C-alpha cells in the first residue's frame, strides 16, 4: 500500500484487488483483513484495531485459524486465514 500510494482493502493493482486475491498469490487464503496507518509502533496498530468493533471482531472472531502481520513505514496489515 505504502509503495503504491493507497490505503484501502481494495487495491488498484491488477490481479491484486481484494485481500483474498493477494493471499492467493502468496499461496494461501484469506478470511479477513485489518489495515492501519499512522504509526510505525506495533502497539498503536494493535490498540487501534482492538478499540474498533469491526477490527476487534476480525482479531477474535471464529473462523480464523492463522494470521500474518506486516508493516511498511506507518502502514500495517493483519491478514487472517481460514485454512
- Residue whose C-alpha is closest to residue 16's, from 1, 2, 35, 31: 1
Asked if 78 contacts 59 with a C-beta cutoff of 8 angstroms, the reply is: yes
Which residue in the block uniquely carries the three cell numbers 473462523? 63
pLDDT tens across 16-41, in order? 898 889 888 888 888 899 999 999 99
Mean pLDDT across the stretch 44-59? 95
Say if 58 falls within a structural domain. Answer: yes
Q: Assess if residue 14 is contained within a domain.
A: no
| Residue 20 backbone phi and psi in degrees, to 5 | -70, -25
- 5 within domain boundaries: no
Structural domain count, the chain: 1
Global model pTM greater than 0.95 = no
Give the domain range for residue 46.
19-81
Cβ of 47: how many Cβ atoms within 10 Å? 13
Amino acid at each position: 500500500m505504502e509503495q503504491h500510494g493507497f490505503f484501502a482493502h481494495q487495491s488498484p493493482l491488477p490481479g491484486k484487488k481484494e485481500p483474498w486475491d493477494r493471499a492467493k498469490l502468496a499461496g494461501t487464503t484469506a478470511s479477513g483483513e485489518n489495515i492501519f496507518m499512522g504509526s510505525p509502533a506495533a502497539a498503536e496498530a494493535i490498540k487501534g484495531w482492538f478499540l474498533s468493533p469491526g477490527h476487534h471482531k476480525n482479531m477474535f472472531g471464529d473462523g480464523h485459524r492463522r494470521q500474518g502481520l506486516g508493516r511498511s513505514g506507518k502502514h500495517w496489515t493483519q491478514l487472517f486465514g481460514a485454512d
